[in-house]
Amino acid sequence: MERGIRLLVLFVAEAHEPVEDTSDRIRWRVGANSVPIDRGEWWLNRQGRAGWDPMSRPSSMMLDNVSPTSLAVAREYLRRRDAQDDLADAAPSQLFRRLGLLTVGGHLTEAGALLLCAAPRPWVTWTRLDVEGGDVLAYNAEHVGAGLLEQIARVEALLEAANDRVTISGEFAERTVRLLPMRSAREAVLNGVVHRDWNLHEPTTVTWIEEDSVLVVVSPGGFVGGVTPANALTQRFSRSPALADAARALGLVDKQGIGVDRMYREMVTLGHRPPLITEDPGPKVRVRLSGGQPVVPVMRLTTRLQPSARRRDVQVALVIHTLLHLAFTTREEMCNVLQRSRDEAAEALEITARCVLDEQSIIEPFKDVWTLSRAARRVVLGSPAERHALRRMGVLWYVSPEAEDVARVARSWLECHERITSGDYARLTGLTTSGGRGALDRLVDEGVLVRGDSAGRNAHYVSAG
């Protein structure tokens, strides 16, 4: 209380890395004003504070130690950025100072020396296999005279060459996509390089498995800063903030720090599995992306959502992906999938429910769960041939389930409910109520279910176990 007035005071923690505004500028507070500053000054000022990043300190390297190839690669990456400035064509001293890689004293930072100067060893390697554990089709660990930035560019070029394009005809008007979304692939590689433990000398390994269109990136050092496999989608932490900031400034990684979100979204909207992120002994962080031919029926759904902005919403994409593979979902289930709180999961489900396809909802509430709407199922299922292929991939397997899947639907419902009715089963599978009753009666005959005591409208079944 202050003079009888109740005040709300907000304390905002100082950023560990520069934060760009909407015009890609870095500014900080001086008195009552917000003034521009370049990255080099920002990191120099940061060194005087507790918790500064060793990657921001001056190294023994200077501009003369920067290889011409590294300079050319840096300029090329900057030209790819969606930026309205001429930084890519600036003099080397101005370019690297604005990237935060050159100190006012003329020395490269440790991050700058790592990125731009000849490395004593390979920091990132490339292997191309025919199948998992099979023959090596190609191996590249060349590093003589190459800095980290040049090594990244080499691996990116090899990945571009290996990751074939496929053409989707018909309703997509000859749309061309990659077997593995390049945005997801690049994010996996760059995260494995930028956020690795640089106290370890082993390289980040990038492996492409030809027959499966699978990318595996293994980086030295385990998770830090509270990040775990269970929250990697939502938790952010950088082991080397100065290096991560330089990567963002160069346009290598997403500047908003939401690259992992996009990695998930790009995968599931093409019908692929979400990224698999685990921690191996060592410790090491392993990221596995499984691509292949895009699932056209799934794309029919994800590319026609309205409002169109929701097509870029990772939460909406993951809700839809979940309901394509499960007969229903709950807030608790979506907490795990979205790696968010129960309230945030509920909000994500409500947002998804407001998305429409041909003016009909994508998902619908049913009792205390959510299901994919009938309209969405019709769009995905398509022709009988597509329906058979989808079932093999585990997509909408529960719609008019085959004999071996009937019990699976009932059991999934009974895992979170005490009873199941013919109406419940019909809603989940798209059968009629009488068809649902017949399916449940067969499970009674098989000893999977037991009829409840009630009859008529209250007729139900419970687990025999």
How many whole angstroms separate alpha carbon 177 and alpha carbon 252? 21
CA-nearest of 218, 220, 206 to 129 is 206
Q: How many domains does the chain have?
A: 4
Single-letter amino acid, residue 28? W
The pLDDT of residue 214 is above 70: yes
Among residues 397, 417, 433, which one ends one of the domains?
Answer: 397
Mean pLDDT value of segment 268-275: 94
pLDDT of res. 170: 62
Does one domain contain both 271 and 147? yes
**Residue 66: per-residue pLDDT:** 95
The answer as to whether 9 is a domain residue is no
Could you tell me if residue 4 is inside a domain? no
**E strand spans, 328-438:** 356-357, 360-361, 363-366, 369-372
Does 439 lie in the same domain as 384?
Answer: no
Question: 16-20, 121-125, 129-133: lowest mean pLDDT where?
Answer: 16-20
CA angle 179, 181, 186 (to 5 degrees): 125
Q: Is the domain of 194 the same as that of 217?
A: yes
Q: Are 80 and 253 in contact (CB under 8 A)?
A: no
* Residue 374: CATH number of its domain: 1.10.10.2340
Residue 96 placed within a domain: yes
> Are both 188 and 256 inside the same structural domain?
yes
Kindly indicate the confidence band of residue 258, based on its pLDDT and cuts at 50, 70 and 90: low
- 259 within a domain of the structure (yes/no): yes
Indicate whether 433 pLDDT > 80.
yes
Q: How confident is the model at residue 5 (pLDDT cuts 50, 70, 90)?
A: confident
Cα gap 319→66, rounded to integer Å = 47
The residue among 257, 290, 323 that closes a domain is 290
Is residue 17 assigned to a domain? Answer: no
Q: In 340-424, at which residue ranges do the beta strands (DSSP E only) sit?
A: 356-357, 360-361, 363-366, 369-372
Structural contact between residues 168 and 299, judged by C-beta atoms closer than 8 angstroms:
yes
Whether residue 146 is found in the same domain as residue 271 = yes
The whole-angstrom separation of Cα 34 and Cα 30 is 6
Task: Look at residue 147 and give its three-state secondary structure.
Answer: coil
| Claim to verify: residue 239 and residue 110 sit in the same structural domain | no
In a domain, 172, yes or no: yes
Element (H, E) at 285: strand 284-290
Contact present, 92 and 66 (Cβ < 8 Å): yes
Whose structure tokens read 């385990």?
222
User: What does R_g of the chain's alpha carbons equal in angstroms?
Assistant: 27
Mean pLDDT, the chain, rounded, equals 88
* Cα–Cα distances in angstroms (integers) from residue 409 to residues 159, 184, 396, 445, in the given order: 41, 33, 11, 16
For residue 30, the SS3 value is: strand
Q: What CATH number is attached to the domain comprising 434?
A: 1.10.10.10
Residues 138, 267, single domain; the answer is yes
H-only helix segments in 179-234: 182-194
Instruction: Show which of 378, 397, 416 is a domain's final residue.
Output: 397
Q: What is the pLDDT of residues 19-49, one digit of tens each?
A: 777 666 777 665 566 767 666 556 555 554 5
Would you state the pLDDT for residue 48? 45
Provide CB contacts within 8 A for 435, sequence distance 6+: 426
Q: How confident is the model at residue 285 (pLDDT cuts 50, 70, 90)?
A: very high
Q: Assess whether 262 and 381 both reside in one domain.
A: no
253 shares its domain with 352: no
**Residues 138, 270 within the same domain:** yes
Q: Are residues 283 and 304 in the same domain?
A: no
For residue 223 the two structure tokens come to: 């998770």
Q: How far apart are CA 423 and CA 386, in angstroms?
A: 27
Residue environment code for 95-115, b if the CB has 16+ CB neighbours within 10 A, otherwise e: bbbbbbbbbeeebbbbbbbbb
Q: DSSP letter for 127, please.
A: E
CATH code of residue 245: 3.30.565.60
Does residue 65 belong to any structural domain of this protein?
yes
Angle at Cα 424 formed by Cα 421 and Cα 427, nearest 5°?
Answer: 150
Percent of the chain, pLDDT > 70?
A: 89
- Output the pTM of the full model: 0.84
Is the N-terminal amide bond of 283 cis, ω within 30° of 0?
yes
Tokens of 371: 């299901």
Range of the domain at 463: 400-465
Q: Tell me the β-bridge partners of 215.
A: 208, 289
Q: Are residues 377 and 408 in the same domain?
A: no
Q: Tell whether 2 is covered by a domain.
A: no
